[in-house]
Amino acid sequence: MNPIWVVAKKEISSFFDSLVAYVFLIVFLLICGIFTWLYGIFVQDIFIRGQADLMAFFINGALPAIGLFIPSITMGMIAKEYKSGTIELLLTKSVSNAQLVIGKFIACLLLIAIALTFTLPYLITIAQIGDLDLGRTLAGYFGLVLISAAYISLGLFASSLTADQVVAFVISLVMGICFFILFSLLSSNLQGISSEFFDFASFFSHYEPMVRGVIDTKDVIFFLSITFLGLLLTINQISKRR
């Protein structure tokens, strides 16, 4: 078996072995549910909106849920290995730094995919009520996976910076706040080139077209580049520690 899969499998099974996993999943669904169905923060919730689409889920529910869920799963991924010294075990086995980081990345992405699968009842419910545009909805899910990949790689980088999980959590949360909220706010409050820069750096401005059903190669490449950069920084950080 490829070492990447060995690492990914181990991470997933140890995630579900602990009680924390279920707490995380419940909190994820709770946040998703509240902001999708009961209380709209950015757009109106499904009932007030009165349209058969998942806009309320993609923008209100999923983003805050992912914003909390991802840092809480990535925080321990590398920091815990430093703290317990198990990093020494891993790095003296036949696995390269890159394989290790990619294995952990895949594990996190699969966990997000599992969490997102639990939101499929939303889709089914709405499809019963009205005429749901399936293509547009799937594009939204695709966007969610991309934005998660980018954020996971940043979370892993945060985790590789410190041996303290809480510090790693805070660092990735701060990065999340910047990329999800702050950059969009700055962009709308500034003018000219700085506004354009923050608009470009904001996750939201690349994600929002996908929610509307538009998959632009530019946006896909943006998320993939962030993912790649994050992973590269993480691998580099682990090598530097040796």
Partner 1 sequence: MDILIRNLSKHYGSQKAVDNISFEVKTGEVLGFLGPNGAGKTTTMKMITSYLTKGEGEILIGGKSFDQEDMRRHIGYLPEHNPLYLDMPVLEYLKFCASLQKVPKSLLDSQIKKMVRQCGLNQEKHKKIGELSKGYRQRVGLAQAMIHDPEILILDEPTTGLDPNQIVEIRALIRQLGKEKTVILSTHILPEVEATCDRILIINQGKIVANGTSDTLRKQASGNKLLKLRISGGSSNDIHAGLSALSTTKMVDIINAEENRFELQSSGQDSNEEVFKLCVKNNWVLLEMVPFETRLEDIFRDLTLN
Residue from the set 29, 34, 43, 95 that interacts with partner 1 by CB under 8 A: 95
Q: Which is nearer to partner 1, 96 or 125 (CB)?
A: 96
88 binds partner 1 (CB under 8 A): yes
Q: How far is the CB of 92 from partner 1 (least distance, A)?
A: 4
Q: How far is the CB of 163 from partner 1 (least distance, A)?
A: 12
Number of residues that bind partner 1 (CB under 8 A): 22
Q: How far is the CB of 227 from partner 1 (least distance, A)?
A: 24
Candidates 55-63, 90-98, 117-125, 227-235 — which segment interacts with partner 1 by CB under 8 A?
90-98
81, 7 contact by CB (below 8 A): no
For residues 124-158, one letter each, b for 16 or more C-beta atoms within 10 angstroms of the residue's C-beta and e for the rest, the string is: eebeeeeebeeebbebbbebbebbbbbbbbbbbbb
Q: Residues in the chain, how many?
A: 242
153, 230 contact by CB (below 8 A): yes
236 binds partner 1 (CB under 8 A): no
Residue from the set 38, 51, 96, 174 that interacts with partner 1 by CB under 8 A: 96
Residues in 6-65 at the binding interface with partner 1, rule: CB under 8 A: 6-7, 10, 13-14, 17-18
Q: How far is the CB of 80 from partner 1 (least distance, A)?
A: 9
217 binds partner 1 (CB under 8 A): no
The CA distance from 100 to 4, in Å, is 6
Q: Which is nearer to partner 1, 55 or 238 (CB)?
A: 238
**Helix axis angle, 165-177 to 134-161, nearest 10°:** 140
**Helix axis angle, 19-33 to 97-117, nearest 10°:** 50
136 binds partner 1 (CB under 8 A): no
85 binds partner 1 (CB under 8 A): yes
Q: Which is nearer to partner 1, 189 or 239 (CB)?
A: 239
Q: How far is the CB of 88 from partner 1 (least distance, A)?
A: 5
Q: How far is the CB of 199 from partner 1 (least distance, A)?
A: 42
196 binds partner 1 (CB under 8 A): no
151, 70 contact by CB (below 8 A): yes
Q: Which residues bind partner 1 (CB under 8 A)?
A: 1, 3, 6-7, 10, 13-14, 17-18, 84-86, 88-96, 242
